Structure 1
Amino acid sequence: MTSPTASPGATPGPVGKGQATRRVLLATHNRKKLVELDRILRPLLPAVEVLGLDDVPAYDEPAETEATFAGNALLKARTAVAHTGLPAVADDSGLCVDALNGMPGVLSARWSGRPKDDARNNWLLLEQLADVPDERRGAAFVACVVLVVPGGSEHVVEGRVGGSIAHAPRADGGFGYDPLFVPEGVTRTFAELSPEEKDAVSHRGRALRELAPLLAANLPES
């Protein structure tokens, strides 16, 4: 199935209405991320049932040892398919800060060590940028989202949004570095935006809108 024709920057319309319900596993336990992924995909794929890792029998999940977002996302999705037999979507995303030579990058979630802690990660990032002026606080959020279908079909898409790092957390919406990241063309942080406003401009929203027609074309009926 091909994606609907859209002008540049337009939001794709729903894909696959009228088809039998199909299932896809989002390979994450992060409830906030799962809600965000489901919120973006559901209007585009109303006939698809979205499951999370808490909805399937537990299995040994791989450590995110790859050096790239795509590598980690593929690792998670391939493992999910092998253990569940379901088509799987996985993402790996992170914040790439100019003044830190692109870090924390793939280490974003565990930047301040384990256990993973958003507040501690944000505090450490602000400490590292304490003396960095506004003109050098550029950054980009990157999301690599992959679809792996039983039988070997794999699809990789990437979404990116540029912006800057605020001098202090602003609001407590979203998750991760959302309280610190101000996207280009916006004066508020991701955490200050409504879910719908964030989805419209976010790295993950852009990647998932690109992935939607691939999901519609590759998910078998249950």
Structure 2
Amino acid sequence: MRKFTQNKLLIATHNAGKLAEMRALLEPRGIEVVGAAEMGLGEPVETEDNFIGNARIKARAAVTATGLPALSDDSGISVDALNGAPGVYTADWAETGNGRDFPMAMQRTWDELEAVNAPAPRTAQFRCTLVLMWPDGHDEVFEGVLPGQVVWPPRGTEGHGYDPIFMPEGADITLGEMSAEQKNRLSHRARAVAKMLEGSFA
């Protein structure tokens, strides 16, 4: 596994919540984190039907545009009773044409669970795939999974995305009710980052 030896890393995301989480996880290691929006980069079209493929698209676009090593993240929630949906289309469920509406996406998720009369607990997983790519095109892939269940109504105003309806396994509050520090200790993204730190940053 290739080791990362630079001290600056481009995070190939325009999602402010994801960037903040990455910054909190990486900067204590002495790594300067810069986001795609700060670099004036556009958002590439994600054409793959899996997390790894879309993460590679985002990493490759960022590396090509800047010449910097880049870390991309493709993640989402997979609901068991919905055959893994929304999965790779997690953000798409929130698209309105005028930005993303996650309360709408959460309502759709619950409505679809109701439509199939899914039994409780309505199990799900948050999944995160990270692709760390160097300017020569080499990449390393790291995945993290957080099991839990979908609950209703939404609870909490912390985090982002579907966090207010996701209760991690073993917890009695949603990710939306957790502080950033609590979430960053157990999240799917934290788990993927931990594998990356052990593998390419050790």
TM-score above 0.5: yes
Q: CA deviation at 1:40?
A: 1.3
* Alignment-derived partner of residue 31 in structure 1: 16
Percent identity among equivalent residues?
A: 42
* Alignment-derived partner of residue 59 in structure 2: 77
Counterparts of 1:148-167 in structure 2 under 5 Å? 148-167=133-152
Q: 1:122 to 1:182 in 2, by over 3 A?
A: same
* Alignment-derived partner of residue 191 in structure 2: 206
Q: 1:84 to 1:2 in 2, by over 3 A?
A: closer
Counterparts of 1:56-205 in structure 2 under 5 Å? 56-58=39-41, 60-115=42-97, 116-130=100-114, 131-135=117-121, 137-205=122-190
Larger radius of gyration: 1
SS at match of 1:121: helix
Q: CA deviation at 1:29?
A: 1.3
Name stretches of at least 5 consecutive residues in structure 1 with no aligned partner: 4-14, 218-222
> Residue 120 of structure 2 aligns to which amino acid in structure 1?
D
> Residue 126 of structure 1 aligns to which amino acid in structure 2?
W
> Residue 48 of structure 2 aligns to which amino acid in structure 1?
E
> Residue 201 of structure 1 aligns to which amino acid in structure 2?
L
* Alignment-derived partner of residue 50 in structure 1: 33
* Alignment-derived partner of residue 9 in structure 1: none
The runs of 4+ residues in structure 1 deviating greater than 6 Å are none
In the alignment of these two chains, the number of paired residues is 198
Q: What's the C-alpha RMSD, in Å, of the aligned pairs?
A: 2.1
> Residue 104 of structure 2 aligns to which amino acid in structure 1?
R
Cα deviation 1:72-122 (Å, max 9, x = unaligned): 001100110001000000000000001100000000011154332211111
SS at match of 1:163: strand
SS at match of 1:134: coil
Q: Distance in 1 between matches of 2:94 and 2:82?
A: 14
SS at match of 2:152: coil
Q: Distance in 2 between matches of 1:122 and 1:61?
A: 24
Q: CA deviation at 1:195?
A: 1.0
> Residue 23 of structure 1 aligns to which amino acid in structure 2?
K
Q: 1:2 to 1:153 in 2, by over 3 A?
A: closer
Q: CA deviation at 1:215?
A: 4.6
Q: Distance in 2 between matches of 1:32 and 1:204?
A: 11
